[in-house]
Structure 1
Amino acid sequence: LLDADGKAVAVTGRGTLTGEPVTLRWGGRAHPVTAWAGPWPVDERWWTADEARRAARMHVAVGEDRPQAFLLIGHAGRWRVEGRYA
């Protein structure tokens, strides 16, 4: 997930994005982001200190000819596609 300068978009400790998402790189292609929502912070396994981790989820919509939406999860400065809505 990249901003207009080509820098990776991350989530700050306060739960905000470091930049506005404009490109999603997925499946070997760069997809222009047409809309996005989030991020939503997620505290996973908070009840077990050894396994606890913080993450964030967000939705991004891409494409104008064949629109698609993705559910992303961000952790440790990287985003991963968790779901795809075609």
Structure 2
Amino acid sequence: MKFTIIGTTLLLMSAIVYGSTLIAASYYSQVLGSSGQGWDSRYGIFGTAIREVGTFPITTSFLLLIGGVFILILTTSKEWRLKK
């Protein structure tokens, strides 16, 4: 049960970090578009904002997601083996 809580917490933290990054990037994309600070035409306004704001948080979010799913899979498979 303890590892299920840890896995679920990691998934929740991943969702919070990812959502916060998207909110910050959307706010920054408005700044990029309106003030004329410049943005990369290959990625567009939002893509440029994601690259500038969210590289580290999105990577952290995906690592938390992978860790949480891995822990939940291990816990679930262990519980299924004990039931047999």
Give the alignment's TM-score, normalised by structure 1. Answer: 0.20
Q: In proportion to residue count, which structure has more strand?
A: 1
Which has the higher Rg, Structure 1 or Structure 2? Answer: 2
Q: In proportion to residue count, which structure has more helix?
A: 2
Give the alignment's TM-score, normalised by structure 2. Answer: 0.20
